[in-house]
Structure 1
Amino acid sequence: MSSQTAQRFTWLAFLFLLPTLLGLLIFRLVPIVGAFVTSFTRWQIFDKPRWIGLDNYINILTSPVAAKVFINTAWFTMIYVPGVIVLALFLAVLLNNSLKISAFFRGAFFLPYITSTVAVTLVWRWIFSTKFGILNNLLIGLGYSDPPAWLADPIWSLPAVAIVSVWKDSGFFMLLLLAGLQTIDPGVYEAARMDGAKRLRQFFDITMPLLSRSLFFVLILALVRSTQTFEITYALTGGGPNGASTTLAYFVYENAFVHFQMGYASALAYLLCFAVGLVTLANFYVRKRWTHE
């Protein structure tokens, strides 16, 4: 192929890529840069932006309300990440077989992930209902005379949101771990059985080490996902009661589209990105200590 022909193909490839590149520039890069600049301003959406430097960041880091939101987000992450990984791993191991019915259950467990969040939260609001909910009636049937008001109690509202999030997302992470399980050579398990290893020993000595890279990938996705929870919080508790279930993503929405404090909301969003970046970098730093290459 001559250099002239190669150059022509290069321009043709660039021409096909141009719509995508323009889309990324207009709808991704420009808003990112715009939000960063806005984070240094006081902008009440209907007024002109006014440059205030680092005041938004200082106000966030010294605000008791913001501190409570950061703590809520940390608590949510500590419930959600282990919960969704353990449940997804259990389902993946359970369905890692060639039975025809397993295909049905894989689809059934994945279905909540692609189901409308509004539909999901409507069902769970009924489950969590204080007087008529199936969960509290079950607890009463088991002898617990004073079950909690899940969505109205400041202690239980955040765990309730985390439970629904784990239930909804576990099917997606199950498929990722199932793909990892299916890359493990069955001959390894056969050799372990011949050596007398029981199922539990096989799980911890074979499955976990060989699945560690998939688990690391799922861990990173779950950590990022835990900081982005908005729809379930919005539809289930509205951040209440008294901000008890408000996490960072919901707090960004509240400041931007309820109070119209665009500069403050932009600063919150960048602090959220910074926190997620730090956690992700820390995980990549320790990855080689627990992943099997």
Structure 2
Amino acid sequence: MVSARDLRRYAPAMLFLLPAVAGLLLFRIIPIIWAFALSFAEWRIFDQVKWVGLSNYAHILSSPVSLQVLGNTAYYTAIYVPGVIALSLALAVLLNNGLRSSAFFRGAFFLPYITSTVAITLTWRWIFSTRFGLLNHLLETIGWTDPPAWLADPAWALPAVAIVAIWKDAGFFMLLLLAGLQTIDPTVYEAARIDGARPWRRFHTITLPLLSRSLFFVLILALVRSTQTFEITYALTNGGPNRASTTLSFYIYQNAFVQFDMGYASALAYLLCFVTGLVTLINFYFRRRWVYE
């Protein structure tokens, strides 16, 4: 039992903690609970809250639009996660192997991550432009006579969003993997060289196993980030054409702040939370099969 003396002793600390706790309650805990309650209700901002039970969740699983959005999210994740891990791993290995001016390149590769997303996206809009874009000009130069209309073609809009996201985020994941690479004892590589192991074999049998913990951490972060993409979609395609690049997080925004359907948006948000948590748990379950302990 807490005595009066203990209360007096810890009162100043509690007072200092009070603003942080109040902020956590007001801007985190209470909105989470309120959104969960709203997911079982129908509420447009200027209407009365109406209890509808599981109707919002049933509508998600039966609506062609929401099913298309779920498919888009899975497709985007399938492009983004392997792409960003492969690129960040390649950059980390390149820097770790003694690239000249590695400090400069480390900063250059990390720069897109801290640059304004809107500024980056506007630049990529020009790169993807059908008439004046640099990318299509390069593709035509190497012989692709009919390059895609990246932002106007439903088949290419979502890959275009993924390309921008991979380019922006790779520098962040590169630093995480580079830190993992620098913890590997160089004598292990030296022993492998003496035994005649070629670079690919050293990478496959030494680098990947000893880097597996960092790779697992990066995998989880990339999976979570892939479900939260919003700014790039908003600025690059606005979810189009014909919702071809609308992912679940962007669809939540549209329902909440364009159509003002807070109940349905809350149900979508909790579905996103459930799917993200489920995928993360599955990865943790299979972790011991490929993570070197």
Cα-to-partner distance string for 1:103-144 (whole Å, 9 max, x where unaligned): 110110111011111100111000000011011111111121
Identity %: 71
Structure 2 residue matching 1:95: 3-state secondary structure: helix
1:17 equivalent in alignment to 2:33: no
Shift, 1:18, TM fit: 2.7
- Report the counterpart of residue 234 of structure 1 in structure 2: 234
1:291 equivalent in alignment to 2:284: no
Unpaired runs of 5+ residues, structure 1, are none
Once residues 175 and 276 of structure 2 are traced to their aligned partners in structure 1, the CA distance between those partners, rounded to angstroms, is: 24
Cα-to-partner distance string for 1:235-269 (whole Å, 9 max, x where unaligned): 00000001000000000000001111000000000
1:201 equivalent in alignment to 2:228: no
Once residues 128 and 275 of structure 1 are traced to their aligned partners in structure 2, the CA distance between those partners, rounded to angstroms, is: 32
Any residues of structure 2 matched to 1:58-69 within 5 Å, and which? Answer: 58-69=58-69
- Alpha carbons of structure 1 residues 257 and 4: separation in structure 2 relative to 1, 3 Å: closer
Once residues 4 and 102 of structure 1 are traced to their aligned partners in structure 2, the CA distance between those partners, rounded to angstroms, is: 59
- Alpha carbons of structure 1 residues 97 and 144: separation in structure 2 relative to 1, 3 Å: closer
Structure 2 residue matching 1:155: 3-state secondary structure: helix
- Report the counterpart of residue 257 of structure 1 in structure 2: 257
- Report the counterpart of residue 147 of structure 2 in structure 1: 147
- Alpha carbons of structure 1 residues 204 and 57: separation in structure 2 relative to 1, 3 Å: same
- Report the counterpart of residue 246 of structure 1 in structure 2: 246
Shift, 1:17, TM fit: 2.8
Unpaired runs of 5+ residues, structure 2, are none
Shift, 1:14, TM fit: 3.5
Any residues of structure 2 matched to 1:92-171 within 5 Å, and which? Answer: 92-97=92-97, 101-171=101-171
Any residues of structure 2 matched to 1:46-85 within 5 Å, and which? Answer: 46-85=46-85
Once residues 170 and 290 of structure 1 are traced to their aligned partners in structure 2, the CA distance between those partners, rounded to angstroms, is: 23
Cα-to-partner distance string for 1:71-118 (whole Å, 9 max, x where unaligned): 000000000000000000000000015666101101101110111111
Letter in 2 for 1:236: L
Runs of 4+ with >4 A deviation: 3-12, 97-100
Q: Which moved more, 1:149-158 or 1:13-22?
A: 13-22
Letter in 1 for 2:287: R
- Alpha carbons of structure 1 residues 137 and 17: separation in structure 2 relative to 1, 3 Å: same
Q: Which moved more, 1:222-231 or 1:40-49?
A: 40-49
- Report the counterpart of residue 220 of structure 1 in structure 2: 220
Once residues 16 and 187 of structure 2 are traced to their aligned partners in structure 1, the CA distance between those partners, rounded to angstroms, is: 46
Once residues 63 and 120 of structure 1 are traced to their aligned partners in structure 2, the CA distance between those partners, rounded to angstroms, is: 34
- Alpha carbons of structure 1 residues 22 and 207: separation in structure 2 relative to 1, 3 Å: same
Structure 2 residue matching 1:156: 3-state secondary structure: helix
